[in-house]
Each structure stands twice: as C-alpha cells, then as structure tokens.
Chain A
Amino acid sequence: MSVLKVENLTKSFRCGGIWGGGVSHKAVDDVSFALEEGETLAIVGESGSGKSTTARLAMRLLDADEGSVHLLGEEITSTTGKELRIKRKDIQMVFQDPFASLNPRMTIVETVGEGLRVHHPEMSREQRRKKVKETLALCGIGEEALDRYPHQFSGGQRQRVGIARALIVEPKVLVLDEPVSALDVSVQAQILNLLKKIQAERNLSYLFISHDLSVVRHIADRVLVMFEGSVVEQGAVADLFANPQHSYTQDLLAARPINHPRERQQSATA
C-alpha cells in the first residue's frame, strides 16, 4: 500500500485583476503519483513548475480543484477541521528557509514541542521536554539548545530544529520543500546525511521537492519531473539520469554545472 497517493490533482490560481476577473492559470495540471513506504520520491522542476504547489496540495495546505489525496490508504481530499489535524500527524513538512520557518519568539523546546501539545495533550510538560530532547538529539542538537531562541543558531542548526519539529509526532511521511537549498554545501552534506540516517532508522517516506538535480540524484529513489504544472517524466533515479526521455528533462540535465574545468569544452559545444 502506498503511504501517500495523489490522483489527477489540478489547481488553478487567478492572476491579475485587483477587483476580481483576471486570468486563470493552471499551476498544477493532472498530477498523479504514489509514494511507497521507506522511499524517497523527488519532484524536480524550475520555479513556477508547480512542484511546491503539488507538495502543498498533497499536505492539504491547499485545496485541489480536482483530484484526490490518499494518506495511508484513507482519502483526505475533503477532510477538514479536527479530523484533518489528526491525520496530519502522519504527514509533516520541512520548509526551505530555516530563518523564516521558526517563530523567533518561541524557544526551541516550545517550537519543537508544539506538535506534541496538539497530538498528545495527555503528555505532561516534563514528558514533552524529554521527548523534545530525544528528538533533537536524533537530529544532532544538544540539550543546551532547549531554552534558546532561533536567532542563536546557524542555518544548518535551524534546519535540524525544523526536521526535529516535523519528526516529533512520529509521522510516516515527510514533505521536504527545498530543505537544503538555503544551506552552504558543507552544511548541506550534513543535512542530507541526517535525512538518510533518519529515514533508515524510522522507515520514513520522503516527498522531496528540489530544483537541484545533483541533490536529487544523491538522495532520491524515484524522480518526477514537472514542467508548467504537468508531470513530463517520471522514473527510477538512475534510469532518468542515464536515459532521459523528455526533451525538458534532457535540457535540465544538460544545464547542470560541470564538475571539473576539463569538462568545459564539452559543455560549450553541447
């Protein structure tokens, strides 16, 4: 059984026209995929391709115009309110910008523990604190961080906090929206390793949104390529990189930066 299955998702936004009217623009057009247990499915595409909108639809942060979302076999397409909040325990999100996604007025223990207040109201303050401590430790953040504020941390540490916040309610699926794009390459390596480790330990499924093909090749099992709202190609990561079928995928792969100056000639003539 797929842990997350979306079928024929479509979403339009209205652009322009301050007082209504304007042009309707299909941001996501008939997108379907299934995420299996323990796997990483990457959605790649450039800005405006609809990859983040797809993630938000799958998370039910946005309502689809058409199509359905199934989480752990149950349809959640039109679930709302308290019921949706309960279901969300199984699907959590990690955002791109670790500077914008943490509340600057909340301490780390409050931020990370917030999910527990919602999903485990029976836990005492001490129990919550203990659980936060364990989850932060899993993400490589020490106990001394508990009562500090986000501004006291570097980008990489904040992203670890963001991951801990998502993990604390023990979800089955993590939706990661460009989780390493804002990080330096050395920090990016640490976070990618951390994500791999946690996935192996907890048998988590990742929906990994990224524009960076090198990162995707490194971390994903399967890839879905989006262009102007539609899926143009999908497949196992090795196949897709070795033998891209769609011309857009080929262009994307050809546009990747080179790894050594000796490749310059090839890329100039390509």
Chain B
Amino acid sequence: MVEYSSGVNRSQSLELRELSLSVPIGGEHVEAVSGVSLTLKPGRVLGLVGESGCGKSLTAQAMLRLGEHQGVLRESGDILLDGDSLFSMSDETLRAVRGGHISMVFQEPMTALNPVFSIGSQITEVILLHLNMNNEQANVRTVKLLQDVGMPDPEAVMKQYPDALSGGMRQRVLIAMAMAADPAYIIADEPTTALDVSVQKRIIGLLLDLQRERNLGMLLVTHDFGLVAEMADDVAVMYAGQIVESGSVEQIFNKPTHPYTRALMGCRPEVSEPGSSLPVIGGQVPPPGSWPVGCHFAERCPLADTACFEPVTMDAWSDGEHRARCVHADMKLPELEAVL
C-alpha cells in the first residue's frame, strides 16, 4: 500500500474501470453512469465531452468519490489509484487523497469559494491539511501559488475576500487551491464555461502551462469541442451514461466515427456556413431510467436498424486506440455524410 500522506507526485495512473453509478430519482435508484472506463495518466489531458445530462459531471466527481452524500451509489466497477481501490480506502486515506493526489477545479468560480474566509486562509487551509508545513511556510507557499496562477500582488490578494475578485480572478484562486498540495491529477469540470472569451483564453493557457510544468494528469470535463481542440491529448465522448467514442484528439477530430460525435461536431455554428441551416439531431437525450436496451443513441440515429437494438460495446469498432460503440461505424464516410 502506497503512503498517501503527502502530495508528492509519484502516481502512475488513475483509472475508472467499468464504473456504473446510480442516482435517486423519485424514490428509487436509477442507473446514470453505465460501465464507464477511463484512464488518467501523468502529463496527459483527457477531454470528457458530452451534453447536459449525459453523466459527465457525475463521472468526474466519482473520481474523488464525491456525490455519495447526495445519494449517488456505486452499482459496479471500481476506481483505482495506482491499482488501489478508492472504495477500500479508509476515510483518513481518502481525505489525504482528495486534494493531495487528486484535486478538483469547479465550474462556478462565484460559488466554489467560501465568501466569509479570506483568499489566503482558504488556500493555506489546503496546504496545512496536506503538507507538513507550519503557518509561515504555508503563507510563503500561498504567495508562490498565487504568483504561479498569474495573480498580481499576491500578498494583497491573500487578505481579500472572494467578493472583491472578478470571475476570472476567482477561477485563478480556485486553480491555485487545486494546485496547493501538489496533486498528481486535476479534475477540471467546465473550468472556463462561466467566463468571458478573453478570460477563457487566459485560463486555458494557465491550466496548460501548469499541467505541463507539473506533469499533471488532467480530466477536462466540457461540452465544448473548441476547448477539447485546444487542450486535450485524448478524448472520450459521452452520451446517455456511456462512453460512445474514444481516441486521441487527432483521431476524434480527423475522423469522428460514432454518429453522435459526428452530429455533435457538425451542429456547431463555428464550422457552419454563415446563415445556413445548422444540421440538428432530432429528438432528445433519453433521461436515466429510459435508456434503450441496445445502443443508447439508436432512437435518434439516422443509421439505426434492427442491429442497433442489441447491446453494443466499445469493441464494436476500433482502429488502433480509436474506438467507437457503434455497429455501423464502418459505413463509408460519404454515406454517413449523406444521412447525417
């Protein structure tokens, strides 16, 4: 068993293995994440893309075993940090792992900070909890962290309260907090969604710089293919609780293969002819509890036939590391183009 007491970066991998989660809906537990496997490695950014309600945030939170107090239940599968299951760790070990080995950057910089504590005290708290440092050392480290995330005048910022900072500045503080104990992995859930475009660009640059400098493994949860194009090394596309396609960022952008990925990429106004009609996906994402037995996308898919109403795995189509949960992924691209 590895020591999880300090945040020294010595990890090899953080892995979700066939993880299924259920959430309480109307008095019963309904499966919301279905057999998801993902691996984070130091120095790699994995983009987890999908639309609202597909289970991507639940999946991200599961990497820290968060959400359980809200009734999220593990149905099957495992979460492994260097081979050790997060589910067999003691509470104490788990506390050391959260923030120390794996930390999180949330979407809403306006609500993720505590309004009644100063910026400095919120960051030093993390340091004192995870690193063997006294107050003075922790203060020095906090100044350094705030410098690293590009905050002008760190000493002054430490004395300020969250309400004195803009959204972009708060997001920098949250990133500094996430880095405070030198974790090996960062789970970033829509880290730039609430920000203006010019601020977004700077936060993206900051996250990438820190990720490279510190050789972090990052899970980037987003609905935005632009952000994936900008940041990710590997991509997993999620739909209705399942991973439907995975591969390197080049593979996914050069040859999106699952009909859902193709449709999702095609309906972005960025890649459309101005004024043209955008291609759309008919229907809606089925909510947890009403997923079809077969391919979850079948009801909305223009390629669907009887074969699609049988369960389908990620082994249905592959080209090296590039895999897709689709029995028709081999349909030639022009044909697919014509129907989508």
Interface residues of A (CB under 8 A from B): 46-47, 154-156, 184-190, 192-193, 196, 211, 213-215, 217-219, 237-238, 251-252, 254-264, 267
Contact = CB atoms under 8 A, between A and B. Distances in A.
Contacts of B196: 46-47, 211
Given A251-B198, A252-B198, A256-B197, A155 B52 contact: yes
Interface string B231-269: 010000000000000000110010000000001100111
Contacts of B223: 184-185
Contacts of B279: 189
Contact of A218 (B52, B224, B230, B278): B278
Nearest to A194: B280
A189 B278 contact: yes
A264 B232 CA distance: 11
B277 A196 contact: yes
Contacts, number: 103
A173 to B, nearest CB: 20
B278 A184 contact: no
Contacts of A237: 274
Contacts of A211: 196-197
Contacts of A218: 269, 272, 274-276, 278
B159 interface: no
Given A46-B199, A154-B284, A218-B278, 11 more contacts: A46-B197, A184-B223, A185-B264, A186-B281, A192-B269, A214-B268, A237-B274, A238-B274, A257-B200, A259-B225, A264-B229
B197 A255 contact: yes
Given A217-B269, A218-B272, A258 B278 contact: no
Interface in B101-148: none
Nearest to A251: B198
Contact of A257 (B226, B249, B264, B281): B226
10 contacts: A184-B223, A186-B267, A188-B269, A214-B270, A218-B274, A252-B197, A255-B197, A255-B201, A257-B270, A263-B229
Interface of B: 51-52, 167, 196-201, 223-227, 229-230, 232, 249-250, 253, 263-264, 267-272, 274-281, 284
A255 B230 contact: no
B281 A258 contact: no
Contact of A261 (B253, B263, B272, B284): B253
B191 to A, nearest CB: 13
Contacts of A263: 229
B211 to A, nearest CB: 14
Given A47-B196, A186-B264, A189-B267, A258 B229 contact: yes
